[in-house]
Structure 1
Amino acid sequence: MVELPTQEFDMKGTNENFSPWNKGKIVGRKAPLRLRDIWAIRVRLQLRGRPRELALFNLAIDSKLRACDLVALRVHDVSHGQAIATRATILQRKTCRSACFEITDQTRNAVAAWIADTGVAGDAYLFPSRVRRSAHLSTRQYCRIVHRWVAEIGLDSSAYGSHSLRRTKAALIYHRTKNLRAVQLLLGHTKLESTVRYLGIEVDDALELSEQTEA
């Protein structure tokens, strides 16, 4: 598991002793999960009775949200009264653009079970922090959880990160439909070129064609 820094920041977001976590490391686009990986993690979380992580994982896959938006979700973002919504819309922090996403049956069940277990409601954060200084689960802790998930099913955790979950369903949708515009809308990208770069599809498609061609 990759250990991330634990420096505390002042109100201006600076620290004289701060050193970037990726200093001296090779950092590239994190791989999406494969379908079998998704189910391996999901089943493991179910069998081990980890309702918070199951709800977090399922919602991360469905929502395709950035980590900062996922951890800051409130109960009312994904529910209508006592019922979990089938679709949700939030305002993205990075782009200030709305993002819409579906909430599948298994995700609704997992989220409902988590809400029932914790009793959170209304304007409360869906994933409250377990430490006093933070109102909700931090992106740093979420990243650690993601690394643990992939390591537990035997994958190299250094090849994956929180963006892997954002990219996972988008990549599956593209490979099944080749509909770039749909993926662009689901990811909330303003430019189609951003979606192309994000998925790395030009390289993947070129390699796939090359593999299918005998010389």
Structure 2
Amino acid sequence: MPDAKPLSNLPAPRPPWNKGRLTGQKLPLKPKDVWTIRVRLQILGSKRDLALFNLAIDSKLRGCDLVTLKAQDVCLGGRVRDRTTIVQRKTGRPVQFEITEQTRAALREWLSVLQPMDTSYLFTSRLHESAHLSTRQYARIVHRWVDSAGLDGMAYGTHSMRRTKAAQIYRKTGNLRAIQLLLGHTKLESTVRYLGIEVEDALAISEQVEL
């Protein structure tokens, strides 16, 4: 049997793939960050990105559902809807969301440029092999938005868009059932994990209620 190599001659272990990286849930944007990104997109005159950003915040959709939205999902009779419902790809369950006035205005501006048919995708891709933005393209766009606001790109991602409005609603109301419906979760436990609710959050809500 050959002699075992001394420990000093063994190759150094590889560093963990996530060393120095932020892992886990992506942070939601703060209201000031939302307005920073929105104003920058308005100044740049980026109609597609402004419509995409505003709708991502309002809809609270997963990226895979957001990029496959069609004109008919947000429009009815040439008018942008106040509310709409889509079926989620992940769960197969319908979820409803509101479209605020500023988002409707951004969509009208983008649709005037796009001039789609009802069956057309809302956010088209510039790549010939894809009819709509891919989730990878969407992720790159989100990172551009985050960078433009001076935020840490490793701490934010597409799920930041999904979590932003939900996190604000939770902070203001503490209504987990409402957020479960808005996010389209099948179980309340999923909503609790998704929002990262801790015991301190629960106690803070409890302390606001006097009996």
- Tell me which interval the TM-score lies in, with the shorter structure as reference length: 0.7 to 0.9
Q: Flag structure 2 segments of 5+ consecutive residues without an equivalent.
A: 1-15, 206-211
| Counterpart among 8, 24, 27 of residue 28 in structure 1 | 24
Q: Flag structure 1 segments of 5+ consecutive residues without an equivalent.
A: 1-22, 210-215
Instruction: Establish whether residue 170 from structure 1 lines up as the match of residue 166 from structure 2.
Output: yes
What's the CA shift for 1:121? 2.6
Instruction: Establish whether residue 181 from structure 1 lines up as the match of residue 174 from structure 2.
Output: no
Relative to structure 1, the CA distance from residue 57 to residue 78 in structure 2 (aligned partners, 3 Å threshold; closer, same or farther) is same
Instruction: Tell me the residue number matched to 2:193.
Output: 197
What's the CA shift for 1:202? 1.5
| Counterpart among 60, 66, 71 of residue 67 in structure 2 | 71
Distance 2:77 2:95 in 1: 21
Task: Using structure 1 for the length normalisation, give the TM-score.
Answer: 0.84
| Corresponding letter in the other structure for 1:88 | T
| Corresponding letter in the other structure for 1:49 | G
Instruction: Tell me the residue number matched to 2:8.
Output: none
Q: Deviations over 1:143-200 (max 9, x none)?
A: 0010110111110011000000000000000000010000000000011111000000
Distance 1:181 1:204 in 2: 19
Instruction: Tell me the residue number matched to 2:37.
Output: 41
What's the CA shift for 1:81? 1.6
| Corresponding letter in the other structure for 1:140 | R
1:115–1:121: 8 Å Cα contact kept in structure 2? Answer: no
Secondary structure (helix, strand or coil) at the match of 2:198 reads helix
Aligned length: 187
Task: Using structure 2 for the length normalisation, give the TM-score.
Answer: 0.85
Instruction: Establish whether residue 130 from structure 1 lines up as the match of residue 126 from structure 2.
Output: yes
Instruction: Tell me the residue number matched to 1:58.
Output: 54
| Counterpart among 94, 101, 105 of residue 98 in structure 1 | 94
What's the CA shift for 1:206? 6.6
| Structure 1 moving runs of 4+ over 6 Å | 206-209
Relative to structure 1, the CA distance from residue 48 to residue 208 in structure 2 (aligned partners, 3 Å threshold; closer, same or farther) is farther
After superposition, the CA RMSD in angstroms is 1.6
Instruction: Tell me the residue number matched to 2:10.
Output: none
Q: Deviations over 1:92-117 (max 9, x none)?
A: 00000001000000000001100001
Instruction: Tell me the residue number matched to 1:17.
Output: none
Q: Deviations over 1:43-79 (max 9, x none)?
A: 0000110000000000000000000000000000001
Instruction: Tell me the residue number matched to 2:5.
Output: none
Distance 1:141 1:62 in 2: 20
| Corresponding letter in the other structure for 1:205 | D
What's the CA shift for 1:41? 0.3
Secondary structure (helix, strand or coil) at the match of 2:85 reads strand
User: Which is greater in Rg?
Assistant: 2
| Corresponding letter in the other structure for 1:61 | I
Distance 1:56 1:204 in 2: 34
Distance 2:63 2:43 in 1: 25
Secondary structure (helix, strand or coil) at the match of 2:84 reads strand
